[in-house]
Structure 1
Amino acid sequence: MEEKSSRHKKARATNPPASAQEAVPVAEAASLLTDDLIVEILSHLPARSVHRFKCVSPSWRALITDPANRKKLPQALAGFLYSTFHRRDPHFHEFHFANISNSPSPPVDPLLPFLPSDKYLYVNQLDTCNGLLLCRVHMAPSSPSGDENTPVESHYIVCNPATGRWVDLPPHPEAPPDSFVFARLAFDPAVSSHFRVLQFENSDLKKYVTGVNIYSSQTGAWNHRESRLFEKITLFAGLSGVFFHGMLHLLGWLHHPLYMDENFVLVAVDVEGQVWKTTRLPSRGLGFGRIGLSQGCLHYASKVLPTVDNNKKKKKKKEEDTSLAAEIAAVWCMKDYDSKEWILKHSVTIAELWSITSAEFDVAAIHPDRGSIFLYSYDDDTLASYDMQHRLHRILHLEENNTAIFLPYVPLFSDSFAGADGQ
């Protein structure tokens, strides 16, 4: 009997479980894949998945980080370009990079050294979109002039900081004397190598957007389109746009006396300036936030301001402590773009943030691949990355006197950049 039991134990020891038997052919099949096939498969995955696959094995990590493969693989968010006020002249800015990647050296030089310094006197960084950077450059004078009031010639350029290539845009149309303009970039390398620059006109007198000038790298020309918005809306010039579903999305302010507590709207414009749409943003007080594209869906993150009772001038200490439980940041997601319905995804309270940072934060940006938001503190010049699901955080120290405008940067190592003439 003991001999029979011993034979059964030996049989169980020599025969692996069914799951292990099934894993053997899979492992053998995977070993037959060449590096080129692996890279081709990874090129169709989100950047977040590619980043995680670095942990599969040393060979996979070497394959993914190989500079020769970077042109084919999607890249993760590397950090933010931001500016500080110039130390000698407040009319100009100095530019920096907040590095959130694991690389010890920044993946981009914010000084853009590939641009000719003898040609461009000053470069103002305006917007980023899928690896490209929109700048407004001020030209160096061809001859010295003693008149300080002499206007300096300027125009737009679009460049790729990862490859050092750029294109000069022709002079943009002059804006009406009673308006101010700001420009945003629209580019999707998965759809086309061509890009658009949309220069919006906001009227100083009428206080709302009146039209847009659109540059196409395909035609090499500017076209003007009148606004087709039915409501009076002012676009916020100090915020980045989101290019999604072939439309540029911007935050705006609706001038309507009946909606004073719900006057923030999302404005979408197609790249031809023919279609203009507005969507109400979720309102929970007079909070104001940022829009972003995260995990394939449009997101809106806002800071919720506490409701103030003007009839109560004094509050008890207990009530003040209770107010710390109010939400300071809430993140909504538009899972179905066609429905325009916002769904509350995450929120964080004042008390929770204060327990970690002991500082007041405003929403700065939304991570494109993770369930994280970035919060900026005016008190100590820091940028905090906050994972709203796992409650993890990371804090970056910034340069002093920054403008609190952060341009997300995802490297684009591909040369598929139509019209680039830089070397």
Structure 2
Amino acid sequence: MNFGEDMLMEILARLGAKSLLIRFKGVSKEWYNVISRGALSRKILPPLMSGLFYQTLDPKGYTFVSNSKVANGGDMDLSLSFLPSHQRLSIVNCCNGLLLCRMGGSDWNQNQEFLHYIVCNPTTKKWVSLPKVHKSSCINGLVYDPLISDQFKVVRFLCCSPETSSIELQIFSSKTGKWVETTVFFGSPCYFWYGRQVVFSNGSLHVLFYPHHVLKYDIKKESCRLIELPPEVMKLSPIDCLGESCGYLHYAESDTSTIKIWMLVDWQRSEWVLKHCIIMQALRKQFPHSHWFRFNFLAFHPDLEVVFLEAQGFIFSYHLNSSKLEKFWTITQEGVPPFFTVTCVFSRCIHSFAH
């Protein structure tokens, strides 16, 4: 008997998460594709509570803001004050509700600098301190899939060599508690677009690669390949953004007049489709006194057709299907310049976490 994909998804969603992943992925190629896709995991896992951490100048270090409500009807209030030296930490990546934080220091006994990483769940206040590392890295990725395991991995991209088309990686596994080093090859003379966010999607880490690619690192196979960006994208810029939404990898490109959003529908053929084209002028009309605003793209919501934008100290949520712009939060305060670091976090309030 053949089911449509929607009906099959409804049936599979009634099964346990571990049974799906261990027993039923091998039934057929169709079942494998449906189970692997993010849409099914969104049915199995609890609903998302969306929010953002932004870096402040006060002793708290980071402030969390959200329009979600907790069970008692109040506002969701998350803080990083439970972490050691939380004022000096920087959030470098997040994945399925976990944060990857980093802090630098000096080891006077060995006369060398080191980096200290912490992985934490701000919902449960649990955290893990990773062994110190001494090599610098420009890009760091966090891998955590609660459908598969409560274990996590941290991947540090150390060095990229366009001449040999290779990347040096440092990988930490919470299962072993150790860092290991490896080298992978990607087959084309490209290099990192430094300082960009790493996106975990469908079992792989993704990061923008100059001049016109996305690097896809398969966690299980420990292999890399390059995905070409849409041909309309001429050159990467600091205001481009990569993210996952509704089970697919998305790419956003901004300029002074538009924000264009593409969705990757076939990574093997580097096939993208243009989903939305947001006109800046139309955004300004929805918000009074914003004729001089420039809207900067921040992040995609992973489960909804919603994106987050920033303009002059305000954070907005923009609903792609209805074209509705809503003020999410006001950051600008008297005496505080409107320059800040924003990290988008989407927590499923999962209470299991690696010890």
TM beyond 0.5 = yes
* 1:280-319 alignment runs, 5 A limit: 280-282=228-230, 283-286=232-235, 288=237, 289-304=240-255
Rg larger for? 1
Q: Is the contact between residue 95 and residue 144 of structure 2 (CA under 8 Å) also seen in structure 1?
A: yes
Deviation at 1:164, TM superposition (A): 1.0
* 1:198-347 alignment runs, 5 A limit: 198-202=155-159, 210-253=167-210, 263-271=211-219, 274-282=222-230, 283-286=232-235, 288=237, 289-304=240-255, 328-347=258-277
* Secondary structure of residue in 2 paired with 1:335: strand
Deviation at 1:48, TM superposition (A): 11
CA distance in 1, matches of 2:63, 2:159: 29
Name whichever structure is richer in strand by fraction: 2
Q: Is the contact between residue 89 and residue 101 of structure 2 (CA under 8 Å) also seen in structure 1?
A: yes
**CA gap 1:417/1:82 in 2 versus in 1, 3 angstroms:** same
TM-score by length of 1: 0.63
For residue 184 of structure 1, what is the aligned residue in structure 2?
141
Q: 1:363 aligns with which of 280, 297, 300?
A: 297
**CA gap 1:204/1:87 in 2 versus in 1, 3 angstroms:** farther
The two structures, once aligned, show a CA RMSD in angstroms of 3.5
For residue 128 of structure 1, what is the aligned residue in structure 2?
94
Q: Is the contact between residue 185 and residue 195 of structure 1 (CA under 8 Å) also seen in structure 2?
A: yes
CA distance in 2, matches of 1:349, 1:237: 28
Amino acid of the structure 1 residue aligned with 2:78: V
For residue 108 of structure 1, what is the aligned residue in structure 2?
78
For residue 156 of structure 1, what is the aligned residue in structure 2?
117
Q: 1:411 aligns with which of 339, 347, 351?
A: 347
Amino acid of the structure 2 residue aligned with 1:369: D
CA distance in 1, matches of 2:349, 2:49: 13
Q: Is the contact between residue 94 and residue 345 of structure 2 (CA under 8 Å) also seen in structure 1?
A: yes
Amino acid of the structure 2 residue aligned with 1:105: D
Q: Is the contact between residue 97 and residue 347 of structure 2 (CA under 8 Å) also seen in structure 1?
A: yes
Q: 1:352 aligns with which of 279, 282, 301?
A: 282
Amino acid of the structure 1 residue aligned with 2:226: T
**CA gap 1:371/1:279 in 2 versus in 1, 3 angstroms:** same
Q: Is the contact between residue 80 and residue 98 of structure 1 (CA under 8 Å) also seen in structure 2?
A: yes
* Secondary structure of residue in 2 paired with 1:298: strand
CA distance in 2, matches of 1:354, 1:131: 32
Amino acid of the structure 1 residue aligned with 2:249: L
Find out whether 1:374 has 2:342 as its counterpart.
no
* Secondary structure of residue in 2 paired with 1:108: coil
Amino acid of the structure 1 residue aligned with 2:81: P
**CA gap 1:275/1:49 in 2 versus in 1, 3 angstroms:** closer
**CA gap 1:233/1:83 in 2 versus in 1, 3 angstroms:** farther
CA distance in 1, matches of 2:265, 2:342: 25
**CA gap 1:376/1:161 in 2 versus in 1, 3 angstroms:** same
- Deviation per CA, 1:394-422, whole angstroms, max 9, x where unpaired? 1221244465543222224333322x2xx
* Secondary structure of residue in 2 paired with 1:215: strand
Q: Is the contact between residue 252 and residue 259 of structure 2 (CA under 8 Å) also seen in structure 1?
A: yes
Q: Is the contact between residue 79 and residue 410 of structure 1 (CA under 8 Å) also seen in structure 2?
A: yes
CA distance in 2, matches of 1:235, 1:203: 7
CA distance in 1, matches of 2:127, 2:64: 19
**CA gap 1:209/1:181 in 2 versus in 1, 3 angstroms:** farther
Deviation at 1:345, TM superposition (A): 0.8
Q: 1:166 aligns with which of 127, 142, 148?
A: 127
CA distance in 1, matches of 2:186, 2:228: 14
Q: How many residues align?
A: 306
Amino acid of the structure 1 residue aligned with 2:244: L
TM-score by length of 2: 0.74
For residue 29 of structure 2, what is the aligned residue in structure 1?
none
**CA gap 1:275/1:375 in 2 versus in 1, 3 angstroms:** same
Q: Is the contact between residue 48 and residue 348 of structure 2 (CA under 8 Å) also seen in structure 1?
A: no
Q: 1:386 aligns with which of 297, 312, 318?
A: 318
CA distance in 1, matches of 2:121, 2:302: 19
Q: Is the contact between residue 239 and residue 405 of structure 1 (CA under 8 Å) also seen in structure 2?
A: no
**CA gap 1:372/1:126 in 2 versus in 1, 3 angstroms:** same
Find out whether 1:81 has 2:53 as its counterpart.
yes
* Secondary structure of residue in 1 paired with 2:250: strand
Q: Percent identity?
A: 28
CA distance in 2, matches of 1:49, 1:154: 34
